[in-house]
Amino acid sequence: MNNGKQEPWLINDKSNSPKLNGALHFFPSELRQVLLKIPQDLQLKLIEIRLRTNQPLELNFGSTDSFITIKGDLTGKTEEALVINADTFRKTFNAFTTGSFYALEEELTQGYLALPGGHRIGITGQVFYNGASIRLISNISSINFRIARSIRGIARPLLPYLWKEGRFLKTLIIGPPATGKTTLLREIIREISSGVPLLGISGIHVGLVDERSEIAGSYQGIPQLDVGLRTDVLDGCSKRDGVYLLLRAMNPQLIATDEIGREDDFRVIEDIINAGVSFLATAHARNLTEAILRPGLKKVLQDGAVERLVLVSNRLGIGTVESIKSGVSGPELLSNGFTGVKGCPK
């Protein structure tokens, strides 16, 4: 289970503990009792809890995953693992949704559901169409419970590279899935929005387009995770609509969004730049070469729109910053890789 890899962002941030207990509060008592038996240090590393009907309960710790026995011991053996039967699955889904499927059906057609505290569940099941669009996802068979965590301070060492002459530089964070891009993005937003006097950063107005409620973890429109004092959140809104709404109504100095890469995302970035506003976004790609090969990113990267490229991985743990580049063809400002929290000020 433990691969010996040090994950200092978790060890440093003891405030994660109550957050996890908050997450387990959503589970029905029979599962909660089992999950609470996981040792405290491993509880802190828990990222996802996956349930599938008639399959073992799976725990994801970022770089590793495991099953769990009824006694709360972690195991890799399926025959020892706690299996989620149909009744337990139904009770769990009931506990996550307060038995109110009818009230959440529209949200569930997106494939996920935001919960109080910023946690969220992803679902799969039987999909029903109405014309070309999904009308309903019913008969849910899999749930992925994602635990929301703010890892405060993870972005602090990056900030001097992203802030220049009183403004935030247009920044793109690139990394493979599950490397902490969104966590890093959230922390940059929080710091820039609230201001860091120590680094000469005054707080600026940030407009956040949170298409999948992942960054601010909004529940009923209210951010559950700290995204700073001057951040206005458009929750569940598409990037295209969100950017126009923010530009028209909120006069932001920085617009942030998650996971760009579709063909038309280039136009969205172009509109932000044309409005004289800076941007901060993330994109899925293992490295810069792979990013440039993606049509949606190629235009953004080759247009010279990006002033800072931050490449992340989980080499030294989630949120490892591998390098910071000054644009695509510019010099590498930092290249030896570090985990953001290590030694950073709180």
Partner 1 sequence: MSKIVGAMLLIGTSTFIGFTMAERLNERCRLLRLLIRLLNIIKTEIGFHSGLLAEVFQRAAQVIHDPKMAVSLERIARNIGFGSDFDIGQLWEDFVNNPELGSLSKEDSAVLKELGVYFGSTERKDQIERIEAARYRLEINLEAADVDKMKQVRLYRYLGFAAGAAMVCLLL
Locate 124 and state its tokens: 């799969």
Closest to partner 1 by CB, 136 or 292: 136
The secondary structure element, H or E, covering residue 212 is none
Q: Of 96, 163, 266, 279, which one interacts with partner 1 (CB under 8 A)?
A: 96
Closest to partner 1 by CB, 92 or 320: 92
**Whole-angstrom Cα distance, residue 280 to residue 274?**
15
Tell me which stretch binds partner 1 (CB under 8 A): 95-103, 156-164, 201-209, 253-261: 95-103
Which residues 14-43 are close enough to bind partner 1 by CB under 8 A?
25-30, 32
| Ranges of H-type helices in 25-100 | 29-35, 40-43, 86-97
Total chain residues near partner 1 (CB under 8 A): 22
Tell me which DSSP letter residue 339 carries. E
Residue pair 335/320 in contact (Cβ under 8 Å)? The answer is: no
Tell me which stretch binds partner 1 (CB under 8 A): 87-95, 159-167, 247-255, 282-290: 87-95
Closest to partner 1 by CB, 3 or 100: 100
Query: Could you tell me the smallest distance in angstroms from the CB atom of residue 199 to partner 1?
Result: 39
Closest to partner 1 by CB, 80 or 105: 105
Closest to partner 1 by CB, 116 or 295: 116
Closest to partner 1 by CB, 102 or 129: 102
Indicate whether 129 belongs to the interface with partner 1 (CB under 8 A).
no
With CA atoms as reference, report the closest residue to 186 among 270, 239, 257, 126: 257
Indicate whether 126 belongs to the interface with partner 1 (CB under 8 A).
no
**Whole-angstrom Cα distance, residue 122 to residue 143?**
6
Sign of CA dihedral 179, 277, 344, 212: negative
Query: Could you tell me the smallest distance in angstroms from the CB atom of residue 226 to partner 1?
Result: 21
- Tell me the DSSP string of 141-153: EEEEEE-----TT
Q: Of 99, 221, 295, 345, which one interacts with partner 1 (CB under 8 A)?
A: 99
**Whole-angstrom Cα distance, residue 136 to residue 117?**
25
Please, what's the b/e burial string for 158-197 (b: 16 or more CB within 10 A of its CB; e: otherwise)?
bbebbbeeeebbbbbbbbeeebbbbbbbbbbbbbbbbbbe
Closest to partner 1 by CB, 101 or 161: 101
Query: Could you tell me the smallest distance in angstroms from the CB atom of residue 108 to partner 1?
Result: 10
With CA atoms as reference, report the closest residue to 313 among 174, 149, 183: 174
What does the per-residue mask of binding to partner 1 show for 138-177, with x meaning CB under 8 A?
x---------------------------------------
**Whole-angstrom Cα distance, residue 183 to residue 215?**
7
Q: Which amino acid is at 140?
A: I
Q: Of 95, 292, 328, 333, which one interacts with partner 1 (CB under 8 A)?
A: 95
Closest to partner 1 by CB, 20 or 297: 20
Q: Of 136, 273, 275, 334, which one interacts with partner 1 (CB under 8 A)?
A: 136
| Binding footprint of partner 1 on the chain (CB under 8 A) | 25-30, 32, 91, 94-96, 98-103, 105, 115-116, 136, 138
